[in-house]
C-alpha cells in the first residue's frame, strides 16, 4: 500500500462570495497518477491550484480547512520551498519566451536566486531533458529560444523545467489539451514513466486519457468531490449516478 503524500481535510476555497470548493477530503498516494475530472466549472483546476497555493494569487481568493503535504500544512510552509516540492505545468505550453531552452530548464533556480556552477547546471539540464525524452531532440539547439520548439516539445520542456527542481509532486492542468494526438501520446507515455519518481495529479477533460494513464480518479461536481476510487472502478462501476452520467457522455 503506497503511503499518502498529500491529503486534503475539510478543504474549502472561494473567490469572493462564490464558493468553488466545498469540504474536500482526499488522500493522494505516493507515486500514483491521480486524474481529476468533472464538468467545466466544477472546481477541479481550483483544487489543483490550491495544492501549491497558486489559488491565492487571484484577488478575493480565500481558503479554509487543510491541505497536508507529507504531514505539513501547505498554508504554513515557506512558499518557495512549497513550489520547489510541488511543481506545476499549465494547459498551454509556456516556455519563458526570452530564454533559451537551457535557461528555461534551470529558470526555477535563477528565479529563486539559487547559484549553481556551470558543471552542476549542465548536469541538471541534461538530466531533466533526458527524463522528458527531449535531450536527443534538442541537445544541439540548447541556446535557441524555447519558443522555436513544436507545441509538444514545448510542453515537455515545461515539464523538464518543473522536474529540474526535484519536486515530489507534479500538478498538470490539462497538459495535452492544446496538443495534437502524436504529441499527446508522447506526453502520456512520459507521465507513465515519471510516476516512478513523482506523484502526479492531472486535470483532464479527456476520459480516455484518464482511463489510459491514471491509477485513481477523482470526480468533482459543483465544487464537491463526489467520487474517488481506483480508475478502473470509476469507469466500470461508478457508485454515483452523476459520475455514471458524466463518463457515459450524458452531460459535460
- The pLDDT of residue 250 is 75
- The pLDDT of residue 251 is 64
User: Contact 74/82 with Cβ under 8 angstroms?
Assistant: yes
pLDDT truncated to tens, each residue of the chain (252 aa)? 789 999 999 999 999 999 999 999 999 999 999 999 999 889 999 999 999 999 988 889 999 999 999 999 999 999 989 999 999 998 888 899 999 999 999 998 988 888 999 999 999 999 999 999 999 999 999 999 999 999 999 999 999 999 999 999 999 999 999 889 999 999 999 999 999 999 999 999 899 999 999 999 999 999 999 999 999 999 999 999 999 999 988 765
User: CA 195, CA 170: separation in Å to the nearest integer?
Assistant: 9
Range 228-248 burial, b when 16+ CB lie within 10 A, else e: bbebeebbeebeeebbeebbe
Q: What is the pTM of this model?
A: 0.94
User: Contact 21/223 with Cβ under 8 angstroms?
Assistant: yes
Domain 4-247 sits in which CATH superfamily? P-loop containing nucleotide triphosphate hydrolases (3.40.50.300)
Give the count of alpha carbons within 13 A of 22, CB side only.
11
Domain boundaries, the chain: 4-247
- The pLDDT of residue 6 is 98
CA–CA–CA angle 198, 203, 206 (5° rounding): 115
Residues contacting residue 140 through CB under 8 Å, at least 6 positions apart: none
- The pLDDT of residue 176 is 93
- The pLDDT of residue 178 is 86
Range 38-65 burial, b when 16+ CB lie within 10 A, else e: bbeebbbbbbbbbbbbbbeeeeebebeb
- The pLDDT of residue 18 is 94
Amino acid at each position: 500500500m503506497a503511503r499518502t503524500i498529500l491529503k486534503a481535510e475539510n478543504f474549502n476555497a472561494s473567490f469572493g462570495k462564490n464558493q468553488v470548493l466545498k469540504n474536500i477530503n482526499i488522500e493522494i498516494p505516493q507515486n500514483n497518477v491521480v486524474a481529476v475530472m468533472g464538468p467545466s466549472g466544477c472546481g477541479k483546476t481550483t483544487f489543483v491550484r490550491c495544492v501549491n497555493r497558486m489559488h491565492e494569487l487571484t484577488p478575493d481568493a480565500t481558503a479554509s480547512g487543510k491541505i497536508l503535504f507529507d504531514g505539513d500544512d501547505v498554508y504554513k510552509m515557506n512558499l518557495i520551498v512549497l513550489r520547489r516540492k510541488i511543481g506545476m505545468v499549465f494547459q498551454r505550453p509556456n516556455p519563458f519566451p526570452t530564454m533559451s531552452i537551457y535557461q528555461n530548464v534551470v529558470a526555477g533556480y535563477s528565479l529563486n536566486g539559487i547559484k549553481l556552477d556551470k558543471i552542476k547546471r549542465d548536469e541538471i539540464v541534461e538530466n531533466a531533458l533526458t527524463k522528458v525524452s527531449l535531450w536527443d531532440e534538442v541537445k544541439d539547439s540548447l541556446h535557441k529560444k524555447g519558443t522555436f520548439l513544436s507545441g509538444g516539445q514545448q510542453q515537455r520542456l515545461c515539464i523538464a523545467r518543473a522536474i529540474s527542481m526535484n519536486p515530489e509532486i507534479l500538478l498538470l492542468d490539462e497538459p495535452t489539451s492544446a496538443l495534437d494526438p502524436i504529441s499527446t501520446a508522447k506526453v502520456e507515455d512520459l507521465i507513465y514513466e515519471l510516476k516512478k519518481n513523482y506523484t502526479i495529479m492531472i486535470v483532464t477533460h479527456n476520459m480516455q486519457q484518464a482511463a489510459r494513464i491514471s491509477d485513481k480518479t477523482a470526480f468533482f461536481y459543483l465544487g464537491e468531490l463526489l467520487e474517488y476510487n481506483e480508475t478502473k472502478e470509476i469507469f466500470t462501476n461508478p457508485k454515483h449516478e452523476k459520475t455514471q452520467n458524466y463518463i457515459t457522455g450524458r452531460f459535460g
